Amino acid sequence: MMLKRLGGVLGRSWLLVWRMVRRAARLVMTGSAAWRGIGAAMVLAALLLALAQGYDAFARYAWWSFALYALALTGGALLLAAGALLLLHLLTRFPPVFMWGLAVALLLTLAAFANGGQRVLLVAIPFVLITAAWLGAAVMSWKRYTWGQATAVQRLFILSGLLCGGGGLVGGGLWLLWPGSDLTMPPNAALQAWTDADAAAVTLPDPAQPGPYAVRTLTYGSGEDQHRPEFGAEVGLVTTPVNGASFLSGWTELRTAYWGFDETALPRNGRVWYPDAPGPFPLALVVHGNHNMEEFSDPGYGYLGELLASRGFIVASIDQNFLNGSPTADWLGRSGLAEENDARGWLLLEHLQLWRGWQETAVNPFFHKVDLTQIALIGHSRGGEAVVAAAAFNHLTHYPDNAAVRFQYGFDIRAIVAIAPIDGQYKPADTGLPLQDVHYLTLHGTHDMDVTSFAGQQQFDRVQFSGGDWFKTAVYVYGANHGQFNTVWGDTDRGAPVIHLYNLEQLLPEAEQQRIAQVFIAAFLEATLHENDAYVDFFRDYRIGVDWLPDTIYLTRYEDGQMQFVATFEEDIDVTTTTLPGGRLAGRYLTTWREEDVTQKGRDLETRAVLLGWRARADGRAPAYTITLPPTLTLSVTQTLVFSLADAGPVDEVAEDELRQPLDLHVVVEDAAGETAVLPLSHFAYLQPQLPAQLLKLSFMQAAPMSEVVWQSFAFPLADFTAVNPRLDVTHLTAVRLQFDRTPAGRVVLDNLGFR
C-alpha cells in the first residue's frame, strides 16, 4: 500500500512538472506550429551536418555511394526514433509503481557495478532482476487474488512465478556457492622427456626446507599507528616518517582521517624475520600490492619470512597499505590515489636508508648484522612493478617526473623478484622501466583473475646484461591465481559477489601455491645472494627440482649475461636478416612466416618475435626455418645452443574440451664442410601447447582469450650434436635449422636464438 501511494505521489509530481513546462512554453510559443517548426528544423540541421560529415568519405567513390549513405542514415535514424517513441509510449501504459521500481533497480545496479567491467555482469545482473521481478509479481498477485478467485491463466502465472522466479533465485544462489568445475590437467610436455635416470642424478637439497637458524621477529614503525599495535605502542624500533608529496596526488581527507597522517608524513613500518645469529646476512624487502587498505596485506608473507630467515636471510615485509585503494576513502572511486607505483618504489628505497643507518648504529639490534652488499627486493602485484621502479631509481640522481627531487641511494640491489606483477602503470617519459645488471625472477599463474596476462614477460625482456654472471628467469604456473601468494588475500582475486562467478575449484590449493613460491624464491636467493651456483641449474631446467614442487605444469624461461644472441627479431623489418650482422634467415614450405609484435590476452608484449606455421605436405618435403650464422661468430664445443619457443595456438579449430598434445620438431645444425647433426626438440623437452584457463564458471562469459603465448627456454649443448655425428665441427657451424617434421601441423613463436 505504501509503495502504491508513493508511486501515485511520484506520478502526480511528474504530471505537475510537465504541466508547468507546457504552460511556460505556451507563453512564448505560437501553439503547435512552433513545436512542429522546432522539430523539423532540428531534423533538417542534423541531417545536413551528417551529410556534410559523410560527403568526402562516400561521394569521392561514386554518386550512388553517397546516395546510399544518405538513405541509410536517414532511414536508420527515423526507425530508431520511431522505436524509441514507441517504447516510451508503451512504458507510460504501465503503473507508476512499476516504473519507479524499474528505475530504482537500474540506477542501483548501475551505481554498484559501474566499474565492474566484466562481460559476466551483462548476464548475471539481468538474470537476478528478471527472476526477482517474476517472483515479486507472483507473490503480489497471490496476495491480491485468492486461489479460488484467480482465473486459470492467473493461477498458471502465479505458479510459474513462484516456481521459476523463486527456484531461479535459489538455484542461482546455490550456483554461486558452487566452487566450479574441476581442473583438467593437460599432458605435461616437459615431464614426457624426463626420465627416472635424470631424476636420480639430482643431489641439490630442497630449498623450501627450513635452514639451520632459529628465527626471531620484531616490527619497526612510527609508534603511532591507529589500527595496529605492532606499529604503535608495541613497536620494536621507532622510525621517522618521510614526505611523499612529490610522488603522490589524490590523497583525500578521509584517507587522512583513517590513518592519522597525510602524504607529507608517510610512516616506515615493517615486519622483520631474522636469524638468531651474529651474521652478517643478506637483506630482502618484501612489498605487497594493491588491496583494500583496511584489510592489511603486509602480514601475508610470513610463510616466506620464516623460511628465508631460517636459511640465513633478513626479511622485512613492508607496510604500504596506506597507498592502497579504499571505496570509502576514495569516495567510491571518484577521487583517490592513482598511478602511485613510483611512490611505492621510492618508499622501498627510504626503508633501505633505515637499514643502512641501523647497520652502522651500535645500540641497534641489527648493528653489523646486515650484509648491505647483498640486497633483494620482492614485490607482489603492484609491488612487482614497484620493486623494479626502486631498482631503477636506485641508480638515478633525479626523479624522472620531477627533476627538482634529487636521489642519493646507490644500494647494492642484486636481485629482484616479481610475483604476478603488473607492468606499465608507471612509465616515466612513456618508457617501460629498464633494469641493467640485476638478477630477475618473475612468477605468474595461469588462473590469475586480477592480472590476467603474464605481464612479467614484458619486464623480463627489458632486463639487460653487460656480461658477468647475471641471469633472469620467468616461471608460469598452471592453476595458480593472484592472491594465494599472500595469505591475507587468498583466492578472492575479485571482490564479492563477482568472485562467486569465477571457477575457484580450478585453483591450486593455497598451501601448494605458497610451496611453489617458497621453492623458486628460496632457490633464487640462494643462487643470487648466497651465491650458491648449483641452484642456477634449477632455473636453467626446473625439472632437477621437480620432486620439490607440487604436481602441476611449469613453463620456465632462462637467459643470462653469457648468452650471445644471433636473432632477437628486434633490429629491423627485414625478415631475412639476423640481429647479429652477417647472418641470414630463410623459410621453406611454411604456411606462416612473419616477424611481429607478440600479443597476450588483449595486450601487446612490446617485444617482437617470428611466427612460424606449417602443415605436413603430400610430397613429404619438410617445412623448415633456417638461421644462417654470421661468419664472425666464434663457437666452442663447451657452448650451448639456446632459444625461446612458444606455442602460438592450434592451426585448426579444436573442440573446447580437447586437450592438445605436446609439439615436437627436429633441430639441425650444419658445419662449413656440410656435415649435419639432428636432434629432436624432445631431446631437451617437448613444447607445451598453450595452457587454457577458464576463469569463469561459464566460458561464454569470459571476454579475454583463455590462453596466451608463454615462452619456454630450450638448451642443446653442442657436445650433444657431436655425440650424434662425431665428424661435425661445432667450432665452424654455419647454420641452425628448425625442421617441422615430427608434428603434422602447428604454429610456434621463436625468439632470442643464440649460444651460451
Q: Print the SS3 string covering 549-600.
A: CCCCCEEEEEEECCCEEEECCCCCCCCCECCCCCCEEEEECCCEEEEEEEEC
Higher per-residue confidence, 722 vs 155 = 722
Confidence of residue 2 (pLDDT cuts 50, 70, 90): very low
Helix (H) or strand (E) holding 752: strand 745-755
Banded pLDDT at 13 (limits 50, 70, 90): low
Provide the 3-class DSSP secondary structure of residue 676: strand
pLDDT exceeds cutoff 50 at 131: yes
Question: Given a cut of 60, is residue 471 above it in pLDDT?
Answer: yes
Q: pLDDT at residue 397 above 60? A: yes
Q: Give mean pLDDT, residues 533-559.
A: 95
Residue 6 confidence (pLDDT): 47
Q: Does residue 31 surpass a pLDDT of 90?
A: no
Grade residue 494 by pLDDT with cuts at 50, 70 and 90: confident
SS3 sequence, 82-128?
HHHHHHHHHHCCCCHHHHHHHHHHHHHHHHHHCCCCCCHHHHHHHHH
Find out whether 394 and 372 touch, Cβ atoms under 8 Å.
no
pLDDT tens, residue by residue, 171-194? 888 888 888 888 888 999 999 988
For 297-301, 336-340, 509-513, 606-610, which range has the lowest pLDDT when averaged over its residues? 336-340
Rounded Cα distance, 285 and 275, in Å:
15
279-312 pLDDT, tens digit per residue, is 899 999 999 999 999 999 999 999 999 999 999 9
Beta bridge partners of 102: none
Cβ atoms of 389 and 426 within 8 Å: the answer is: yes
Domains 189-560 and 564-755 share a fold: no
- For residue 168, name the pLDDT band (cuts at 50, 70, 90): confident
Q: Quick one: which of 461, 473, 412, 457 has its CA closest to 435?
A: 461
- Higher pLDDT: 561 or 199? It is 561
Q: Strand locations in 178-259, DSSP E? A: 215-221, 237-238
Query: What is the model's pLDDT at position 700?
Result: 74
Q: What mean pLDDT is predicted for residues 53-76? A: 81
pLDDT at 561 over 70: yes
Instruction: Assess whether pLDDT exceeds 60 at residue 742.
Output: yes
The per-residue pLDDT for 654 is: 55
Residue of 650, 644, 643, 641 whose CA lies nearest to 743: 650
Backbone angles phi, psi at 39, to 5 degrees: -60, -45
Q: Which three cell numbers stand for residue 565?
A: 644472441
pLDDT beyond 90 at 339: no
| Mean residue pLDDT across the chain | 88
Percent of the chain past pLDDT 90, that is, above it, reads 64
Sequence-distant (≥ 6) Cβ neighbours of residue 312 within 8 angstroms: 211, 212, 213, 275, 277, 281, 282, 530
Region 726-734: what's the mean pLDDT?
95
User: Regarding the domain with residue range 564-755, which homologous superfamily does it belong to in the CATH classification?
Assistant: Galactose-binding lectin (2.60.120.430)
- H or E, element range at 715: strand 712-717
Rama region for 277: left / alpha / beta (φ>0; ψ in -120 to 50; rest): beta
Q: Which of 222-226, 402-406, 567-571, 651-655 has the lowest mean pLDDT?
A: 651-655
What average pLDDT does this structure show over 516-535? 97
pLDDT in tens, 626-654: 999 999 999 999 999 999 999 998 887 65
The predicted structure's pLDDT at residue 653: 67
The angle, 0 to 180 degrees and rounded to 10, between the axes of the packed helices 510-528 and 302-310 is 40
Cα separation values, 216 from 197, 365, 521, 547, Å: 41, 11, 20, 30
- pLDDT of residue 41 exceeding 90: no
Tell me the per-residue pLDDT of 194-208, one tens digit each, with 9 for 90 and over.
Answer: 876 666 667 889 999
47 vs 568, higher pLDDT: 568
Q: Scanning the structure block, which residue is given the C-alpha cell 611449469?
A: 554
Top-confidence residue, 305 or 499? 305
pLDDT at 685 over 70: yes
Positive or negative: CA dihedral 588, 592, 595, 600: negative
CA-closest candidate to residue 306, choices 295, 293, 315, 297: 315
Q: Residue range 571-582: average pLDDT?
A: 93
| Residues whose CB falls within 8 Å of the CB of residue 356, separated by 6 or more in sequence, listed in order | 372, 411
Percent of the chain with pLDDT over 70: 86
Predicted confidence at residue 200, as pLDDT, reads 60
pLDDT at 10 over 80: no
The grid cell for 617 is: 605436405
Instruction: Identify the pLDDT of residue 29.
Output: 44
Supply 152's cell numbers.
486459470
Q: How confident is the model at residue 165 (pLDDT cuts 50, 70, 90)?
A: confident
H or E segment and range at residue 192: helix 189-192
Per-residue confidence at 64, pLDDT binned at 50, 70, 90? confident
User: For 683, phi and psi rounded to 5 degrees?
Assistant: -60, -35
pLDDT at 15: 61
Q: What confidence category does residue 696 fall into, taking pLDDT thresholds of 50, 70 and 90?
A: confident
Least confident among 169-173, 220-224, 449-453, 542-546: 169-173
Cis upstream peptide for 280 (omega within 30°)? yes
Q: Across residues 606-632, what is the average pLDDT?
A: 93
How far, in Å, are 188, 229, 476, 542, 741 from residue 194 at the CA level?
10, 52, 19, 11, 22
Residues linked to residue 560 through DSSP beta bridges, in sequence order: 471
pTM of the shown model: 0.87
* CA distance linking residue 70 with residue 381, whole number of Å: 52
C-alpha torsion angle, residues 444, 445, 446, 451 (rounded to 10): -70
Segment 602-606 shows an average pLDDT of 78
Residue among 109, 115, 111, 131 at smallest CA distance from 176? 131
Higher pLDDT, 122 or 678: 678
Of residues 34 and 168, more confidence is placed in 168
- Residues 652-667 have a mean pLDDT of 77
Mean pLDDT within 615-630 = 94
| Distance of alpha carbon 502 from the chain centroid | 16
pLDDT (0 to 100) of residue 77: 84
Output b/e per residue, 207-223; b: 16+ Cβ within 10 A.
bbeebebebeebbbbbb
Tell me the pLDDT band of 67, cut-offs 50, 70 and 90.
Answer: confident
pLDDT in tens, 240-282: 999 999 999 999 999 999 999 999 999 999 999 999 999 899 9
CA atoms within 13 A on the CB side of 505: 14
What CATH topology corresponds to 189-560?
Rossmann fold (3.40.50)
Of 159-168, 318-327, 594-603, the least confident = 159-168
Sign of CA dihedral 353, 357, 360, 366: negative
> What is the per-residue pLDDT for 11?
53
Identify the H or E element spanning 16: helix 2-28
What's the grid cell of residue 513?
601455491
Residue ranges of the domains in the chain?
1-20+53-114, 189-560, 564-755
Give the tens place of pLDDT for each residue, 347-396.
Answer: 999 999 999 999 999 999 999 999 999 999 999 999 999 999 999 999 99
Interhelix angle 63-91/32-59, rounded to 10 degrees, is 140
Which segment of 67-81, 335-349, 366-380 scores lowest on mean pLDDT? 67-81
48 has a pLDDT exceeding 80? no
**Which of 317, 308, 320, 442 lies closest to 388 in space, CA to CA?**
442
Residue 468 in this model has a pLDDT that exceeds 50: yes
pLDDT exceeds 90 at position 239: yes
